[in-house]
């Protein structure tokens, strides 16, 4: 693949698509309960937009771990020609292997993948909500939003203090930063959703950007919906190929035409308009989804289209500049 720098996919010339690179590890650091891994990957850094992710081959050349592992990009920097950092928790064999890497080792990385967070066209009051490692991709987004004149409030949560990622940075860089932990070891005791409405009211939020487990995204969408506030939700569903081929990461999303389609979170997401996702049906193929058994019977009866609250669905982001 062109010396390991081959562009993936059939994008028009000039549009920067993902690349597959052999990236040198710069550092692997412990950050509380997580590891932060920084790679030298100029081609990925140059193409990255907040909300996108990378996939990493794990286990070395003779591994049985065939599936790449997906990670949200936390940040990119210009040093060493361009670096990419991601934050992860050790979970199973792949992340344990990553945590054992040392500087100067080489990783096979593909990215940036997926659709980034759409940005508001006009300066807005943006609430960035994250849970656990889901907080990591919010900081590059915050920088981009501030550059464009928007204000940023953070609402970060986790089970316990050492799993709240980036609280200090949030306090330094956000207009406000609210932290919750389930055990009360840092910030307010409880869940992010317990304080969401209060923060929305105090910050006069125009749009919520959320990166959290599906049940939290579902609740955030419902709560923000009470105030008619759009939610851009970044989902983290089990994912195998990361490039749209295996269909392992699909979820049901209703289009503005009222028709539910099974979209791939790797290429149609991972960021979706919250009110279009059928959160209660994630993990299933609803009977009325396009192509599901029984679809022809319901062809003439699409679900009631959701009201457009001013934030474009995936693939229709025309009023957002990237
Ligand atoms: C778009 C996206 C962004 C992500 N960003 C991060 C991040 O920033 N930090 C982080 O710690 N984790 C992130 N994850 C989850 C991360 O991919 C898994 O924790 C990792 O694949 C687990 O690999 P493992 O071998 O250690 O564990 P195992 O549980 O043994 O994983 C085996 C396989 O299961 C799948 N898998 C397991 N858990 C998950 C999960 N939660 N999400 C998706 N696939 C999973 C993967 O396909 C993996 O190949 C993200 C996942 C997605 C889809």
CATH number for 198: 3.40.50.80
| Same-domain check for residues 212 and 246 | no
- The answer to whether residue 228 sits within a structural domain is yes
Identify the CA nearest to 139 among candidates 115, 159, 166, 113. 166
pLDDT at 65 over 70: yes
| Same-domain check for residues 183 and 212 | yes
Mutate to test the pocket of ligand 1, among 86, 87, 91 (most ligand atoms within 8 A of CB): 91
The dihedral formed by the CA atoms of 54, 77, 139 and 130, expressed in degrees to the nearest 10: 30
Structural domain of 36: 19-112
How far is ligand 1, taken at its centre, from the CA of residue 90, in Å? 10
| Same-domain check for residues 164 and 228 | yes
Helix 214-226 to helix 192-203 angle, to the nearest 10 degrees? Answer: 30
95 vs 321: CA distance, rounded Å: 35
Relative to the CA of 248, which ligand 1 atom is closest? 47
- The answer to whether residue 322 sits within a structural domain is no
pLDDT at 296 over 70: no
- Give the end of a domain, one of 205, 234, 263: 234
- The answer to whether residue 254 sits within a structural domain is yes
* Share above pLDDT 90 across residues of the chain, in percent, rounded to a whole number: 76
How far is ligand 1, taken at its centre, from the CA of residue 87, in Å? 12
How far is ligand 1, taken at its centre, from the CA of residue 89, in Å? 9
| Cβ neighbours of 5 (radius 10 Å) | 12
| Same-domain check for residues 273 and 222 | no
| Same-domain check for residues 228 and 260 | no
Q: Sign of the C-alpha dihedral, residues 178, 179, 185, 190?
A: positive
| Same-domain check for residues 152 and 184 | yes
217 lines ligand 1 (CB under 6 A): no
99 lines ligand 1 (CB under 6 A): no
| Same-domain check for residues 30 and 89 | yes
- The answer to whether 271 and 314 have CB atoms below 8 angstroms apart is yes
pTM: 0.88
- Averaged pLDDT for residues 204-228: 98
- The answer to whether residue 87 sits within a structural domain is yes
| Same-domain check for residues 83 and 170 | no
Mean pLDDT score of the chain: 88
- Give the end of a domain, one of 196, 213, 234: 234
* Share above pLDDT 70 across residues of the chain, in percent, rounded to a whole number: 86
Render pLDDT for 129-169 as a digit per residue (tens, 0 to 9).
999 999 999 999 999 999 999 999 999 999 999 999 999 99
Assign 301 to helix, strand or coil.
coil
How far is ligand 1, taken at its centre, from the CA of residue 95, in Å? 8
The count of domains in the chain is 3
- The answer to whether residue 272 sits within a structural domain is yes
- The answer to whether residue 117 sits within a structural domain is no
Confidence grade of residue 121 (pLDDT, cut at 50, 70, 90): very high
Identify the CA nearest to 220 among candidates 96, 321, 128, 295. 128
| Same-domain check for residues 229 and 250 | no
Window from 3-12, 39-48, 102-111, 125-134 with minimum mean pLDDT: 3-12
CATH assignment at residue 95 = 2.40.30.10
108 lines ligand 1 (CB under 6 A): no
Is 263 exposed, middle or buried, given 0-12, 13-18 or 19+ CB atoms closer than 10 A?
buried
- The answer to whether residue 30 sits within a structural domain is yes
Assign 295 to helix, strand or coil.
helix
Relative to the CA of 71, which ligand 1 atom is closest? 5
| Same-domain check for residues 93 and 170 | no
Relative to the CA of 137, which ligand 1 atom is closest? 8
Render pLDDT for 222-239 as a digit per residue (tens, 0 to 9).
999 999 999 999 999 888
| Same-domain check for residues 65 and 149 | no
107 vs 70: CA distance, rounded Å: 13
- Give the end of a domain, one of 234, 261, 277: 234
| Same-domain check for residues 88 and 57 | yes
How far is ligand 1, taken at its centre, from the CA of residue 185, in Å? 26
- The answer to whether residue 57 sits within a structural domain is yes
């Amino acid at each position: 693949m062109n010396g390991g720098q081959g562009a993936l996919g059939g994008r028009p010339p000039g549009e920067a698509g993902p690349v597959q690179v052999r990236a040198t590890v710069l550092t692997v650091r412990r950050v509380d309960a997580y590891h932060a891994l920084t790679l030298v990957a100029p081609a990925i850094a140059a193409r990255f937009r907040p909300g996108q992710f990378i996939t990493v081959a794990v286990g070395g050349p003779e591994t049985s771990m065939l599936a790449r592992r997906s990670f949200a990009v936390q940040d990119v920097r210009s040093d060493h020609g361009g670096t990419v950092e991601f934050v992860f928790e050790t979970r199973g064999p792949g992340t344990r292997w990553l945590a054992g890497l040392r500087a100067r080792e080489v990783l096979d990385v593909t990215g940036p993948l997926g659709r980034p967070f759409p940005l508001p066209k006009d300066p807005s009051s943006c609430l960035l909500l994250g849970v656990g490692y889901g907080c990591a991709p919010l900081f590059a987004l915050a920088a981009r939003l501030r550059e464009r004149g928007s204000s940023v409030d953070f609402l970060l949560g986790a089970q316990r203090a050492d799993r709240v990622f980036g609280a200090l940075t949030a306090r330094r860089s956000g207009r406000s930063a609210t932290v919750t932990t389930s055990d009360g070891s840092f910030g307010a005791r409880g869940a992010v959703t317990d304080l969401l409405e209060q923060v929305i009211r105090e910050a006069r939020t125009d749009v919520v950007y959320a990166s959290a487990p599906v049940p939290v995204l579902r609740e955030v969408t419902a709560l923000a919906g009470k105030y008619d506030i759009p939610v851009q939700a970044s989902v983290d569903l089990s994912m195998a190929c990361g490039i749209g081929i295996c269909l392992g990461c699909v979820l049901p999303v209703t289009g503005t035409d009222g028709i539910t389609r099974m979209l791939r979170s790797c290429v149609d997401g991972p960021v979706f308009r919250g009110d279009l996702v059928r959160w209660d049906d994630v993990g299933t193929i609803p009977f009325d989804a396009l192509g599901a058994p029984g679809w022809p019977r319901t062809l003439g009866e699409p679900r009631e289209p959701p009201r457009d609250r001013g934030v474009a669905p995936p693939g229709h982001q025309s009023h957002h500049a990237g």
